Structure 1
Amino acid sequence: MDNITHYPLLVLVLSFITMWLSAWFGRFFLKKQHKLDDEARKDFDVILAATLTLLGLIIGFSFSMAIGRYDQRKNYEEAEANAIGTEYVRADLLPAVDAEKIRVLLRNYLDQRVLFYRTHYDRLLQQEINVRTAQLQTELWSAVQAPASAQPTPVVALAVSGMNDVLNSQGYSQAAFWNRIPTEAWSLMTAIAICCNVLVGYGLRDATEKAKLLPILPLVVSIAFMLIADIDAPRHGIILVNPQNLISLAESLRAH
């Protein structure tokens, strides 16, 4: 089962409900147990400000982590396109029959890599793509291994090296898709956010008009959580990696 943080909209809904209930808990339960007097409020305001500052820093760090992972996925997509394009050209260094076979396999492999990035919610299709990709990788390596064994020259070695880059780049991309913000980091961030909302609810003055401001912090924090989850999730949400380099390469190869 996927982690809840893999679904940004679910993160938005659940976090808002949790934060809102936390704020109301602080306002209606804790406040009945112990009301703040003017002297205690000064110390309380310092604690509240420090806690909110800490929450802001942690959200900022988490956002930075998510952006870093998103950029990494984009960079590896570009690296994959470059590796496949380079190997397609280096196929000319091999005998004509082997070169044509490798080009056909690379075009099929490229189609699978585009599908890998474009398939988001269909788990069965994702599994089929992974299986087909693994099969094509085996065929590609076999196709370049045969002429390399027959003619172990430095020129042929360039084609072998290029194929190695093609296979490695796929592994790097897959690892980047698996690299997510740790669940422990989400748990700590949520705990601090809950604490902040409890304190805000507890410190809110009794005026009815001011009570209407209570949902604002839960909403803002929930939106921040959703944005982090959206950027961090490679297959769900709105902000996804578009395989524009792979698509451009596929169109270029088909044109030739």
Structure 2
Amino acid sequence: MTPLILQRPALLLVVLIVVLPLVAWLGTSVLHRYFPLAEEARENYKIVQGATLTLLALLIGFTLSMAVSRYDQRKNLEEEEANAIGTAYLRAELLGGEAAARTQALLARYLQARIRFYVVHDAAGLDEINRNTAELQTQLWATVRDAAKAQPNPVMALVVAGMNDVINSQGYTQAAWTNRIPVAAWTLMILIAVFSNLMQGYGAHGQVGRRVLLLVLPITVTLSLTLIADIDSPRGGLIRVAPLNLMSLAQSMPANP
């Protein structure tokens, strides 16, 4: 389970903006006092420090790429889900009579439930939406199943296949929204960020100009990690996937019970 701090990017921002500058200050005020850096060792220290900062930059870039790819996946699946529902709505006319009207009405309700899935924030509301979605899927499948049993022909097979795509697309979307950057990767990246800021403060001791980095580096790293957490958090961040295709589909339906 993803820790709360990674689900709330604002909370991560507050924690890091306090911790990382504090760690840099500890490096320049405390660590240097007990383990002073000799001038002859400064060259080797710069090599180690540069390697640490390079590793941190690579991890941030790699993790950002992971977060963006997951965000793009969620957007693409929203589009695919809208296409699947729209196709199933049109194919439902092939059922004819009361079954067609019932299926289209259920699909319209199902579409509204899927839109709410994308915009809800609280866990209780999400649980209710998931239960409602499962119930609607059961009713939709029962409707097309009974029609296919009554008339087992290629036309009914087409309707059943369309409904199967609707149910599958919801499962793919659900999986994509729970697919987050592993906690182990976050732990490693934050630990390296802490050590990088500690080394930055340690090496900046006694150099007035370089002490500016005691704020620049922690703030830069904090903003970078917060951006990654924001993109990777489907509900807790500012950057979210909006159900634009689903809402456009809802507006295009002739009837929306």
Q: TM-score, normalised by structure 1?
A: 0.96
**Cα deviation, residue 212, structure 1:** 3.9
Partner residue of 2:200? 200
State how 1:11-26 maps to structure 2 within 5 Å: 11-26=12-27
CA contact (8 A) 1:26 1:198 kept: yes
1:183 is the counterpart of 2:194: no
**Cα deviation, residue 205, structure 1:** 3.5
Amino acid at match of 1:150: A
Partner residue of 1:113? 114
| Cα distance in 2, alignment partners of residues 55 and 36 from structure 1 | 23
1:229 is the counterpart of 2:229: yes
Could you say what secondary structure the match of 1:83 adopts?
helix
Partner residue of 2:134? 134
| Cα distance in 2, alignment partners of residues 188 and 125 from structure 1 | 33
Could you say what secondary structure the match of 1:102 adopts?
helix
Partner residue of 2:31? 30
CA deviations 1:133-161 (Å, max 9, x no partner) are 11100000011011100111111100000
CA deviations 1:87-134 (Å, max 9, x no partner) are 1111122122211110000000000000000112x2222111111111
State how 1:58-69 maps to structure 2 within 5 Å: 58-69=59-70
**Cα deviation, residue 207, structure 1:** 3.7
State how 1:148-163 maps to structure 2 within 5 Å: 148-163=148-163
CA deviations 1:10-35 (Å, max 9, x no partner) are 11111122211211111112101222
CA contact (8 A) 1:95 1:147 kept: no
**Cα deviation, residue 51, structure 1:** 0.5
CA contact (8 A) 2:70 2:176 kept: yes
Partner residue of 1:89? 90
Q: In terms of mean alpha carbon deviation, does 200-209 or 147-156 score higher?
A: 200-209
1:244 is the counterpart of 2:239: no
**Cα deviation, residue 211, structure 1:** 2.7
Q: Structure 1 stretches of 5 or more lacking a match? A: none
CA contact (8 A) 1:6 1:233 kept: yes
Amino acid at match of 1:49: G
Q: Structure 2 stretches of 5 or more lacking a match? A: none
| Cα distance in 2, alignment partners of residues 188 and 34 from structure 1 | 26
Amino acid at match of 1:106: L
Amino acid at match of 2:192: I
CA contact (8 A) 1:23 1:214 kept: yes
Partner residue of 1:52? 53
Count matched residues: 255
| Cα distance in 1, alignment partners of residues 4 and 188 from structure 2 | 16
- RMSD of the alignment, in Å? 1.4
